[in-house]
Structure 1
């Protein structure tokens, strides 16, 4: 692991113990058992760090200050480390893929949730011919306590509750109408990033949470009730995140009979196919495509994954790290413990050692290429975050992103070859 990355996350890891078999058997059942052990560990770590985020959020709302705001922001970044490593369980496992949208949907029309810059109107961009603008991005639920979102005369937004927030999510089928999850919380902690492809993240003032005469909405003085509602939205959203993670932990728990894990372990090659699908699709279609290439081609920071906090470099890095964890059958928990056992690489190597090693090399190459984003953002001499790297005219920055994209596409290509070597003809 290179120095820039160690500086960013070293506080998360302490010396721990190894959990798992020292000489794992290479059977489909053993591989799927370890695959499930890693899932349970990574989702459990996601839950634990979300609970720590809740403590920091509660402290911010109870005592708004620059210190408590920065502490909540730091806790949010820590919570992303294990969660991003869990995304390799998407795509192949429908229970994770169906659930993920409630936690990690992006990009979002933040005007649905809170105040935005007067010149901002993302919902009016990139419209198909004949498509109407979705006015949901102008609702600002926090600042409008008597908003009629259903056009039936009812004040639907009078109380900030989990049911309200859930009802707003993908309102009227709009994918950008994101009201919950990590990125809604991120927006509430940082506010809009109005720097475009220049340096700087969102800069919401802590006074946006002050309950009293000092309440603000950015640079504008606001009614105290607005800050109360903003705090409520933040705390309820965090509670919802925790509940969602609790549900997923239960699905992978080795102590719960009849859950998703119990079924998956018995699926044999069909289960291995799910794991390989997660690797190939996250690397190519999602990370290289949706999360990098779309933003690079458009030179648009609005398509950046963690666009409010400028934490995208770490989120992308931990996606590829999650891929490596699953392929090699080893995951280092946030407390330093290591969960390891029979791996997909072991299974493939039993049939074709050459292609098994090729995929391991391609994944490591991709990890190093994506770590280039981290090194750039964390550089002491000339730091450039992802939104700067994708900027028009930034030829060297564009190359860093393109190198990561190319390396991830090779992971997908090699994953398909590895799958065929063990009789899986289509992912």
Structure 2
């Protein structure tokens, strides 16, 4: 299903209990590693008794670095896919698939930056113009809308020669009548690289010969893959620029001008919604209930375990203030000052949830096909329980900070 907030679930309600108060600007020597100087546009009204300057700035720098990394990794993937198209061998197809898997984590950790009307979901918050998320990671995907499927060799846009293959027409046909009629993004590229998955013990096995030039439909497929990959890179470039704090016209500038409690409300809303609703309900519980392997998030590549691992990593990155070897002031630091006992509980729950997700068997489609009470299902159900509890605790953090968060429920 498309994960566009506006089309699927409406604008998430976010109520902020704003209080007065000011904060003192911390000395430069007190800035956390990786924080750098405080930008001139940073909101100095405080709006809280505890002061969150470093943590909000740390978050903004984390988002900026994360989107930049995702953009860079997608460019690397684009290069390998282009090499495959130049020489469509099985070996180069395997390299292209690996490049997709290698590029995916850097985007997944950014999903914790969603659900609060930032640029990923709203290109223009005032007008309600939607952001690129639905074109980046929409799911599930109706394979027959793009290309041939089992039982229909002539299916999809690729076989409809009345539709020219370019970015305008691909985008113009995206989710026009059904939200599963996805034409763009990570999962469209995934399907084009792997094809449908009919293997009990592995991913899809599309042949490299599907991309041998000279055949009318192969040539359309080649152009489609090249075009949709470039579209993804372009969208990620736009997101990276939107969070570039050196650009006075970027969203990052507006974010840093927000009252501190509003900024914290947005941060925590993204974390809690990804944990307690998007991951726990939409991506795990629904699939467990249906038992349908097609409900697996990355069903063509069998990469769904990594989807969950790195989505959770994105939440942890914000809490702990980290991204690889980079460190930022994390929300954990702020909560430790306000309510040390709550900080310990949330930290323990994040670590528990991370372990529960890592313990789920691979691949997820085999878990979905297993009977109720199986070891795999029990472990995945435990991960759902922990994600829901983690989301609830993040709402408790909002209460401790004087910020009320209403997480989506549908």
Shorter-chain TM-score category? 0.7 to 0.9
TM-superposed CA distance for 1:103, in Å, is 0.2
Alignment partner for residue 170 of structure 1, among 168, 172, 175?
Answer: 175
Trace 1:177-216 onto structure 2 (pairs within 5 A).
Answer: 177-195=181-199, 198-212=200-214
Within 2, Cα distance between the matches of 1:418 and 1:402?
Answer: 25
Segments of structure 1 that go 5 or more residues without pairing to the other structure are 1-17, 121-137, 147-156, 213-223, 333-337, 378-384
Q: Which residue of 1 aligns with 2:156?
A: 140
Within 1, Cα distance between the matches of 2:222 and 2:364?
Answer: 29
Segments of structure 2 that go 5 or more residues without pairing to the other structure are 1-31, 39-49, 122-130
| Residues 68-126 of structure 1, C-alpha deviations (whole Å, 9 max, x = no match) | 10000000001111100000000124322232111000001111100001179xxxxxx
Three-state SS of the structure 2 residue aligned to 1:265 is: helix
The yes-or-no answer on 1:86 pairing with 2:119 is: no
The yes-or-no answer on 1:255 pairing with 2:241 is: no
| Residues 138-185 of structure 1, C-alpha deviations (whole Å, 9 max, x = no match) | 851112212xxxxxxxxxx0x21000110011123x110100000000
Alignment partner for residue 318 of structure 2, among 326, 330, 351?
Answer: 326
Q: Which residue of 1 aligns with 2:280?
A: 288
Tell me if the contact between 2:204 and 2:300 (Cα under 8 Å) persists in the aligned partners.
Answer: yes
Q: Which residue of 1 aligns with 2:371?
A: 393
Within 2, Cα distance between the matches of 1:119 and 1:420?
Answer: 54
Q: Which residue of 2 aligns with 1:124?
A: none
TM-superposed CA distance for 1:346, in Å, is 1.3
Within 2, Cα distance between the matches of 1:19 and 1:252?
Answer: 19
Tell me if the contact between 1:391 and 1:398 (Cα under 8 Å) persists in the aligned partners.
Answer: no
The yes-or-no answer on 1:30 pairing with 2:17 is: no
Within 2, Cα distance between the matches of 1:357 and 1:275?
Answer: 19
TM-superposed CA distance for 1:21, in Å, is 4.6
Within 2, Cα distance between the matches of 1:297 and 1:400?
Answer: 14
Q: Which residue of 2 aligns with 1:353?
A: 340
Alignment partner for residue 60 of structure 1, among 73, 80, 84?
Answer: 84
TM-superposed CA distance for 1:403, in Å, is 1.0
The yes-or-no answer on 1:317 pairing with 2:350 is: no
TM-superposed CA distance for 1:20, in Å, is 1.0
TM-score (norm 1): 0.80
Tell me if the contact between 1:389 and 1:400 (Cα under 8 Å) persists in the aligned partners.
Answer: no
Tell me if the contact between 2:35 and 2:61 (Cα under 8 Å) persists in the aligned partners.
Answer: no
Q: Which residue of 2 aligns with 1:20?
A: 34
Tell me if the contact between 1:115 and 1:140 (Cα under 8 Å) persists in the aligned partners.
Answer: yes
Within 2, Cα distance between the matches of 1:21 and 1:244?
Answer: 26
Alignment partner for residue 308 of structure 1, among 300, 304, 323?
Answer: 300
| Residues 261-319 of structure 1, C-alpha deviations (whole Å, 9 max, x = no match) | 11112221100011101111001100111111100110011111100000000111000
Q: Which residue of 1 aligns with 2:42?
A: none
The yes-or-no answer on 1:117 pairing with 2:117 is: no
Q: Which residue of 2 aligns with 1:239?
A: 230
